Every structure is written in C-alpha cells, then in structure tokens.
C-alpha cells in the first residue's frame, strides 16, 4: 500500500543528475509520456537512458535530448531523431548501440538478479571489442553484462494500488522488463482499479517490482511514422 502518488511531478521528484534510467516503450508505442515530460520539467542532467530508441524530434525521449539532459544513450535503434544525430556527431552524446535481443536480455537479467550472460550475437563485430569471449560447443560467445537502473519509467494500461500491472497489446514490449530492472520503478497508468479487480491470471508484472504508481490522464499515443494506402489503391 502507499504506492499511489498524486502527480507525475511528485513521482519523479527524486530523479537527480547522473541517474541511470530504464525507459519502457518501443518507438512511440507504450512510452511513459507523462513521466518523460515531468522529467524534462524537473531538468535533471547528465542522465544515462536505457531504452530501445530515443523517441523522435519533439516527442518521447527526444524532448530530453533537446533539453540537453541526456549524457549517454544505451539503445538499439537511433534512426528517427535528427537531434540525436547532431549531438552524437558533435561528441556531445555518448551512444552504446546494443542488438535489440541482447538489450532485452540485459534488462531482463538485471531484473532477475543475473549479473551477465554469454551470447553469440555480435561476435566478430565492433560491439564485441573489449568483451570477454568463451567457446561453448565449438562456438564462440561473448559476455554481456546485465543492466539495472537507478529508476525505471514504465507505462501500463491498468494497475491496482499494490502495483500489479496489466499492459495492453503491443505496448507490453519493453515495459515489463524495465519494471523489473529498476531499483525504483515508477509506473504511469491509464486506469487505476480497486484491489481484487484484476484476475491474477491477467497480471503481467506483480506489484513487488513497483514502488510508485501515478494515474497518467489523457494520452496522445502518437504514431511514429504514419503510412497509409491511397484511397483508390487496389
């Protein structure tokens, strides 16, 4: 009990300079947009952000980039953000590119208390430089370290006051992994339901991983790249 906070501003108030934050979402799908906006308003600097990508110009994590709040980005895809490109090329932004499956497993391992694991993904490429290698069954693998965040920012569909979470469809993506891997996990939700309203079989993330819950209110849920077919197309 006591996990529900009144405002998103209150939820992020102790995220200070230099924090490592794992942020859920995939592209713009399922991002904790209100928490990101509150963090921009707070103005914390020198942040390390772990997320599949860094939003787009003017939305999602892109607004933290524009405000010069991110020092390092650990992600898999960076191709939708001109601000990201400019800051990286100028040396202002440090980037650690991680294959998407490896990133997911590094976050999952962090939440499970596993310090590292071996994978064949990336062996023989630049991401393998400086990493420990071993052979298993005649194949070379490299060691990847788990990721644990000082904080995790997560977006869920429903939650109860204990912090049990339900994610909706594709917005589930990286959110459950992020929720488990934050030392302090902050979850914004579309709907807060009473205790007992959630069927135990539908809960995706148990409340033991969640420290703070805030009702998010209205969501824009922008589309990252809108692609439509012409009206007269066959």
Alpha helices in the chain (DSSP H): 8-11, 33-42, 62-66, 82-89, 100-112, 175-181
CA distances in angstroms from 177 to 2, 87, 106, 117, 125, listed in the order given? 23, 28, 9, 16, 26
| 58 has pLDDT over 70 | yes
**Main-chain dihedrals φ then ψ at residue 26, nearest 5 degrees:** -145, 110
The chain-wide mean pLDDT, for the chain, equals 95
Return the ∠ at Cα 50 (arms to 222 and 32), rounded to 5°. Answer: 35
> Which range (23-27, 118-122, 223-227) has the least confidence?
223-227
Domains of the chain: 17-97+148-215 (3.40.1080.10)
pTM: 0.94
3-state secondary structure of 176: helix
| 1 has pLDDT over 80 | no
Average pLDDT over residues 122-132: 96
Taking the CB of residue 5, how many other CB atoms lie within 10 A of it?
A: 17
Contact 122, 142 (CB under 8 A): yes
DSSP assigned state of 78:
-
pLDDT in tens, 154-201: 999 999 999 999 999 999 999 999 999 999 999 999 999 999 999 999
């Amino acid at each position: 009990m006591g996990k529900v906070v009144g405002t998103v501003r209150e939820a992020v108030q102790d995220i200070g300079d230099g924090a490592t934050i794992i942020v859920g979402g995939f592209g713009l799908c399922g991002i904790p947009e209100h928490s990101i906006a509150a963090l921009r308003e707070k103005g914390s600097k020198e942040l390390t952000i772990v997320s599949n990508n860094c939003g787009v110009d003017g939305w999602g994590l892109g607004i933290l980039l524009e405000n010069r709040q991110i020092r390092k980005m650990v992600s898999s895809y960076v191709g939708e953000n001109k601000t990201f490109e400019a800051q990286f090329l100028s040396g202002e932004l440090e980037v650690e590119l991680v294959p998407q499956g490896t990133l997911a497993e590094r976050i999952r391992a962090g939440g499970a208390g596993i310090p590292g694991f071996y994978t064949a993904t990336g062996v023989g490429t630049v991401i393998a430089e400086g990493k420990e290698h071993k052979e298993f069954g005649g194949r070379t693998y490299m060691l990847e370290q788990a990721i644990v965040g000082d904080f995790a920012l997560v977006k869920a569909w429903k939650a109860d006051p204990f912090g049990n979470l339900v994610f909706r469809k594709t917005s589930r993506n990286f959110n459950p992994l992020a929720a488990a891997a934050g030392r302090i996990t902050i979850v914004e939700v579309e709907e807060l339901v009473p205790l007992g309203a959630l069927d135990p079989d539908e809960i995706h993330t148990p409340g033991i991983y969640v420290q703070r819950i805030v009702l998010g209110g209205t969501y824009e849920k922008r589309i990252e790249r809108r692609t439509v077919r012409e009206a007269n197309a066959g």
